[in-house]
Amino acid sequence: MTSTHESGRFHMTTALFLAVAMAAVVGTALGFEHIGGFIPCKLCLEERIPYYTGVPVALLAAIAAGMRMPAWIARLLLAIVGLLMTVGLVMAVYHSGVEWHWWAGPADCSTSATSGLASNAGDLLGSLDSVTPPACDQAAGRFLGLSFAGWNVVSSLILAAIAYRAALRKA
């Protein structure tokens, strides 16, 4: 059995790891978008929401554990992170299935992203004719056989498992 202090340290360390890992995943996606020029589709943008929400929740869990608040607070926040990553996992599996044409994607998923198209209004008008945002059923690229959505499945699964493991660990 672990002491309350050791458990608090475990929850704090795990929550900080999750916050950094989630920020790294979404930061990588933003890097591919803004530096690499990969324009995200509607589903790609929606898949980021659990990360944008999960990072601050994980930081709150780390603060709660670091301030030695009752362990259930950090554990609850870590469970919320796990739920967010589970939502992200479901969204990523759905998007991957759309890309592999296993099922149809949303009807409005053809032209939603304008990121990286232009730096000013004049350039934007000129680029409207030359840049076509991706459809959700077309992977922007595949790396080691997986699309960005496929890698998000892997990331979300691992992060959810870590968050749930920490949430279930009692003081």
Percent of residues in the chain assigned helix, strand, coil, to nearest 5: 65, 0, 35
Which H helix or E strand runs over 77? Answer: helix 71-99
pLDDT at 105: 77
pLDDT at 23: 97
Confidence of residue 113 (pLDDT cuts 50, 70, 90): very low
Task: Kindly tell me if the per-residue pLDDT of 62 is higher than 90.
Answer: yes
Q: Which residue has the higher pLDDT, 75 or 116?
A: 75
Task: Kindly tell me if the per-residue pLDDT of 161 is higher than 90.
Answer: yes
In sequence order, the 6+-apart residues with CB closer than 8 A to the CB of 36 are none
Average pLDDT over residues 49-66: 96
Long-range contacts of range 94-97, CB-CB < 8 Å, 24 or more positions apart? 94/43, 95/43, 95/44, 95/47, 95/136, 95/149, 95/152, 96/147, 96/149, 96/150, 96/153
